[in-house]
Structure 1
Amino acid sequence: MRKVEVVKYNPEWNQKFEEEASKLSRLFEEELVAIHHIGSTSVEGLAAKPIIDMMPVVRDIERVDDYTERMETLGYRGLGEYGIPKRRYFRKGEEERTVHVHVFEEGNPDVIRHLAFRDYLRAYPEVRDAYGELKLQLAAQHPDDMEGYIQGKHDWVIETERLATKWYKENQDA
């Protein structure tokens, strides 16, 4: 069972993202549209599990399956859709995870959902701080129960994603 570890923000997370993004850019080549740093490690000042979340956006999600073996040579384990249709999910590190890669096709609504949540937390420090406090509290309550930790923040995340997506779309149109 994995321990739930939430730590204060570490500015080195951006450098780790850049290093890994460079490798993935070379791997996916012309299939790649963009690579985004998402999740809590992408929000300055936010407490987070020390795992870098990355979101490559590709032209054709089906073609990503052709890259699984090459991802494995970089230390990733491919887990297919892993519960989210039209996604390809890879993680680096089994006992001590360091990177999660969520690959989506250009135009998938999950791309907007992830970017909106990240940008909303960046734009509203009070929301970011409330989320950080919730995560620290849940990690203390569920130190050996990742599912309990995830379930504890579920409703907060869903509501914030809803608000963030609305805000993001309004600001995209402006």
Structure 2
Amino acid sequence: MSLIVAPDPTWPAQAKAEADRWTDSDVYGLIEVHHIGSTAVPGLPAKPIIDLIPVFESEAAMDTARLTIEALGFEWLGEFGLPGRRYCRADDAETGKRRVQAHCYVKGSDEITRHIAFRDALRANAALRAGYAAIKGKCAALHPGDMHGYGDCKSDWVQKVEAHAINALATKETS
């Protein structure tokens, strides 16, 4: 079973609806919510899971917001291996399949910059998108059903593109 599926043109609308649920619920300390990952890049095959980065004013605000986030149907897993992050996930009640992952960070986090720079680089460059689609397809074929193997397989490519995208962003900001 492949981990990735053909692009779904409804992914951005799904992400917006979920982000709106967060903002409409007055999640304490929430500043904004970004749609990231492959589902945020039109035309890119992806795991059919919406990735969001909710941005908070402080770590204390993230932790205070926990009960509200859980009331939205998310499982709260805390840092879940990444210091400074609060990871939450929501599964479809009927199928049990993951539908949304929220990677919460404090405003100004380098992780926010990294994810958005990567997303924006893919959105802006058709050749880069095609290259990433090819890497994703190869890794999914090599590691069917193995999320960790799939992630490890594409990791070097992603890290190189992220570094280039962050460098380009920094250069643009200083000029």
What is the TM-score of this pair, normalised by structure 1? 0.92
CA contact (8 A) 1:38 1:118 kept: yes
Tell me how many residue pairs correspond in the alignment: 172
Bigger RCO (CA 8 Å, 6+ sep): 1
- The SS at the match of 2:53 is strand
| Structure richer in helix, relative to its length | 1
- The SS at the match of 1:98 is strand
CA contact (8 A) 1:88 1:102 kept: yes
Q: Percent identity?
A: 38
What is the match of residue 75 of structure 2?
A: 77
**Which of 2, 8, 17 is residue 15 of structure 2 equivalent to?**
17
**Which of 51, 60, 63 is residue 61 of structure 2 equivalent to?**
63
- Structure 2 distance, partners of 1:173, 1:55, is 25
Determine if the alignment matches structure 1 residue 169 to structure 2 residue 167.
Answer: no
- Structure 2 distance, partners of 1:62, 1:28, is 16
Q: Alpha carbon RMSD of aligned pairs, Å?
A: 1.6
1:60-98 deviations in whole A, cap 9, x for unaligned? 122211222222222111111112111111011184111
1:125-157 deviations in whole A, cap 9, x for unaligned? 111111111111211221121111111011111
- The SS at the match of 2:25 is helix
- Structure 2 distance, partners of 1:102, 1:159, is 21
Instruction: Name structure 2 gaps, 5 residues minimum.
Output: none
Deviates more, 1:136-145 or 1:150-159: 136-145
- Structure 2 distance, partners of 1:30, 1:65, is 9
CA contact (8 A) 1:39 1:118 kept: yes
- The SS at the match of 1:24 is helix
1:35-72 deviations in whole A, cap 9, x for unaligned? 11111100111111010011111111222112222222
What is the match of residue 137 of structure 1?
A: 138
- Structure 2 distance, partners of 1:59, 1:98, is 26
* 1:1-174 equivalences in 2 (<5 Å): 4-29=2-27, 31-93=29-91, 95-174=96-175
- The SS at the match of 2:148 is helix
What is the TM-score of this pair, normalised by structure 2? 0.91
Aligned residue type for 1:74? L
CA contact (8 A) 2:2 2:145 kept: yes
